[in-house]
Amino acid sequence: MLTRLLLSDRGGLIILALLTALIIYVPIGNLLLPADSPLHVSTFTVTLLGKFLCFALLALAIDLIWGYAGILSLGHGAFFGLGGYVMGMYLTRQIGDRGVYGHPELPDFMVFMNYDSLPWYWQGFDQFWFALLMVMLVPGLLALVFGWMAFRSRVSGVYFAIITQALVFALMLAFFRNEMGFGGNNGLTDFKDILGFDITARQTRVTLFVISGVCLIGAYLMCRFIITSRFGRVLVAIRDAESRTRFAGYQVESYKLWLFVFSAMLAGIAGALYVPQVGIINPGEFSPIASIEAVLWVAVGGRGSLFGAIIGAFSVNGAKTWFTTVYPEVWLFALGTLFVLVTLFLPRGIAGIFRTLGQWTSRKPKGDEQ
């Protein structure tokens, strides 16, 4: 089955090979090679690449629903952020009495706001397994309720995109409020350790990086499995001719809902991996712009090819990092230009180049295909 998934997908195979190489090389480069070696990978770079891996996972989740089912969600940051907050809650509980106020149970911001005891929705987050479960359940549940209402009313296209923006904006406003009990404006930060390992230690950073990479590869394979099954063909059918699909006997809404929930869970996992690496989660993750940017990664990388989303997340974020350190004031112009250029000249994104090249090489000898 694995061969079926991989063989039909050359671009993806290359990306997977590169990812695997990265996962193997980075730990060696960081932990084993001496700091003055030219092949040494700094801890800063490890964390940066780890962040990119999380973004790539988010982009993958968006490409799955946008590229294959035509559902444009401009609010995937909501699920990413929720996954991040769940992980943040676990990490906050791990701080224990090492906070500024030294309270044995309550996080600093709660002490500051005169909480007597932990709110009910913070219960259980001291357990890692519970947090892991919630990382998938919370975004999944929100997607289930939201998607059920939206798809049942046959909201689609631009209207769906707009209400997802509204969703993420509403979450941002809610999480900004101190009374919500998630640290308000400042969010959750000052994490100490994860599963007993020091979160700032090099080894922990590298481990988190490797886990992110493995999760990305796993998610990629799952997405490939979905789109190469009949399920995937139903999705394409829905995207291109929704009512025809309905009259072929498919319950279109349940397909969309299933995929939307799955995609939200992937985004949640991405958020949960992101937070321990950057060390903070705040309502900024819910900003509508962040969600739109994530869709941009997919557009740049190439919608509807899965591996294109990974390329897009890496290239746009790579460019962002470079620009914001070298020419910070130019970055937004560069992003705008990039988007215009991609729309004009590469409607199928960077992955489109690969595909055209692939068709060139594989079609030429045959010559009889039109």
Partner 1 sequence: MSLLKDTRALMRRDQVFDFMLPPPDFEQPVDLSHGPILYLEDVSVSFDGFRALNRLNLAVDAGELRCIIGPNGAGKTTMMDAITGKTRADEGQIYFGQRIDLQKLSEYQIARGGIGRKFQKPTVFEALGVFENLELSLASDKSTWASLGFRLRPDQRDRMDEVLQLIGLGTQRDRQAGTLSHGQKQWLEIGMLLMQNPMVLLVDEPVAGMTAEETERTAELLTSLAGRHTVIVVEHDMAFVRSIARRVTVLHQGSVLAEGSMDRVSSDPRVIEVYLGEET
Binding positions for partner 1, rule: CB under 8 A: 225-226, 229-231, 233-234, 236-237, 239-241, 243-252, 254-255, 258, 370
Nearer to partner 1, 116 or 369 (CB): 369
As given in the structure block, the two tokens for residue 318 are 């790579």
The C-alpha angle with vertex 20 and arms to 8 and 3, in degrees rounded to 5, equals 25
As given in the structure block, the two tokens for residue 3 are 């061969």
CB of 53 to partner 1, least distance (A): 26
CB of 114 to partner 1, least distance (A): 48
CB of 245 to partner 1, least distance (A): 8
Number of alpha helices (DSSP H) and beta strands (DSSP E) in the chain: 16, 4
Nearer to partner 1, 92 or 245 (CB): 245
Nearer to partner 1, 194 or 234 (CB): 234
Q: What is the rounded distance in angstroms from the CA atom of residue 68 to the CA atom of residue 233?
A: 9
Give the 3-state secondary structure of residue 53: helix
CB 30 within 8 A of CB 40: yes
CB of 1 to partner 1, least distance (A): 11
Nearer to partner 1, 31 or 236 (CB): 236
CB of 25 to partner 1, least distance (A): 35
CB of 259 to partner 1, least distance (A): 9
Nearer to partner 1, 131 or 252 (CB): 252
Q: What is the rounded end-to-end Cα distance, in angstroms, of the chain?
A: 31
Q: What is the rounded distance in angstroms from the CA atom of residue 123 to the CA atom of residue 127?
A: 9
Which residue, 272, 285, 260, is CA-closest to 132? 272
Between strands 280-281 and 193-194, the pairing is: unpaired
Nearer to partner 1, 38 or 367 (CB): 367
CB 297 within 8 A of CB 66: no
The C-alpha angle with vertex 356 and arms to 354 and 358, in degrees rounded to 5, equals 65
